[in-house]
C-alpha cells in the first residue's frame, strides 16, 4: 500500500465539521468513489468530526489517499487530546451514549467504512482511524 497524497484539517469548532465533510466529499470524488460510498464516508466523517469537537475538545483530521494494487481509498484519522474514552467496549455498543445522542455515532461510523481502528487513553485523548476503499 502506498500513500499517494496526504494532509490535515483542524477540527476544533462546529464549523470545522462542515469543512471536514466538504473536503472528504471532494477527496472521495477525486478518487473515483461511487456516490453511495462517498455518502457513507461523509456520514462517518460527520459523526467522528463532531465527536472530536464535542467530546475531545477539538483536534485534527489527517487524510491519506491510498493506492493498493488496482484499488484506491481514503484513510482518515481523527486525533484529539481530550479526556479519552473510559470504556471503549461500551462506547462501541449499539445504543450506548455518553451524551444526549442516539448512541449510534461510533458504531454507525464503524459500519459505514471498510476499516475502523480506535485507540483511546484516559487523560491523553483518542485516535480513530477509518478507511474506505473504492
Q: For residue 49, how many other CB atoms are within 10 A of its CB?
A: 24
Which among 124, 128, 126 is positioned nearest to 108, based on CA atoms? 128
pLDDT tens for the chain, 134 residues: list them. Answer: 798 899 999 999 999 999 999 999 999 999 999 999 999 999 999 999 999 999 999 999 999 999 998 899 999 999 999 999 988 888 888 776 666 554 568 998 999 999 999 999 999 999 999 999 98
Strands 59-68 and 115-121: unpaired
Strands 2-11 and 59-68: antiparallel
pTM of the model: 0.92
What is the side-by-side strand order in the sheet with 125-133?
A: 2-11, 59-68, 71-80, 125-133, 115-121
Per DSSP (E only), the strands in 12-97 are 59-68, 71-80
CATH fold for the domain made of 2-133: Heat Shock Protein 90 (3.30.565)
Amino acid at each position: 500500500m502506498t500513500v499517494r497524497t496526504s494532509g490535515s484539517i483542524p477540527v476544533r469548532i462546529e464549523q470545522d465539521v462542515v469543512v471536514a465533510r466538504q473536503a472528504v466529499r471532494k477527496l472521495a470524488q477525486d478518487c473515483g468513489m461511487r456516490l453511495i460510498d462517498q455518502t457513507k464516508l461523509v456520514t462517518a466523517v460527520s459523526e467522528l468530526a463532531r465527536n472530536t469537537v464535542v467530546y475531545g475538545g477539538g483536534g485534527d483530521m489527517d487524510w491519506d489517499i491510498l493506492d493498493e494494487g488496482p484499488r484506491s481509498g481514503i484513510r482518515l484519522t481523527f486525533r484529539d487530546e481530550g479526556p479519552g474514552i473510559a470504556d471503549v467496549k461500551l462506547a462501541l455498543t449499539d445504543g450506548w451514549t455518553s451524551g444526549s445522542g442516539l448512541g449510534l455515532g461510533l458504531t454507525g461510523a464503524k459500519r459505514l467504512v471498510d476499516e475502523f481502528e480506535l485507540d483511546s487513553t484516559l487523560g491523553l485523548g483518542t485516535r480513530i482511524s477509518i478507511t474506505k476503499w473504492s
